[in-house]
Amino acid sequence: MKLVLKIAVVVCVAAMLLAISVATVADPNPQKAAENGSQVKIDNFTFMPNALTVPVGTTVKWVNRDDIPHTVVSDDKTTFKSKALDTDDNFSYTFSKPGTYSYFCSIHPKMTGQVVVQ
Ligand SMILES: [Cu+2]
């Protein structure tokens, strides 16, 4: 009877450790990918990367590395709309719904980019 109890405790502890290791292994990776892939640099009249694919819930940050001001405005002009970003200014928007979001710079409308949210 005592041995059965011991085995039950060992199995329980093993299951808990497995759950913890799965949680710690599974969690940081998507987060890290989101952090690395959620920034768009604006330089030389170009959004880089020009098309960005992110998971739902990602906050995308645009940073203006150009010497002149730019804006980040969604094609519908309502989903997101930054003020004029001076050099090194940034603008962030969190994409909570899947879809393809095209955007442009309202000062230089030929500057366009796209965020695909999956
Ligand atoms: Cu611009």
For 11, the 3-state DSSP assignment is: helix
Q: What is the CA(104)–ligand 1 centre distance, in A?
A: 8
Q: What is the CA(89)–ligand 1 centre distance, in A?
A: 13
Residue 43 clears pLDDT 50, i.e. is over it: yes
Confidence of residue 29 (pLDDT cuts 50, 70, 90): very low
Whole-structure pTM value: 0.70
Q: Which residue has the tokens 């450790």?
A: 17
Report the percent of the chain where pLDDT is more than 90.
Answer: 69
Residue of 106, 53, 48, 111 lying closest to 81 (CA atoms): 106
Q: What is the CA(20)–ligand 1 centre distance, in A?
A: 47
Mean per-residue pLDDT of the chain:
82
Residues 40 and 93 sit within 8 Å (Cβ to Cβ): no
Q: What is the CA(80)–ligand 1 centre distance, in A?
A: 16
Q: Where along the chain do its domains lie?
A: 1-36, 38-118
Confidence of residue 7 (pLDDT cuts 50, 70, 90): very low
Q: What is the CA(56)–ligand 1 centre distance, in A?
A: 27
pLDDT at 57: 96
Given CATH 2.60.40.420, say whether it is the number of domain 38-118: yes
Backbone angles phi, psi at 104, to 5 degrees: -150, 175
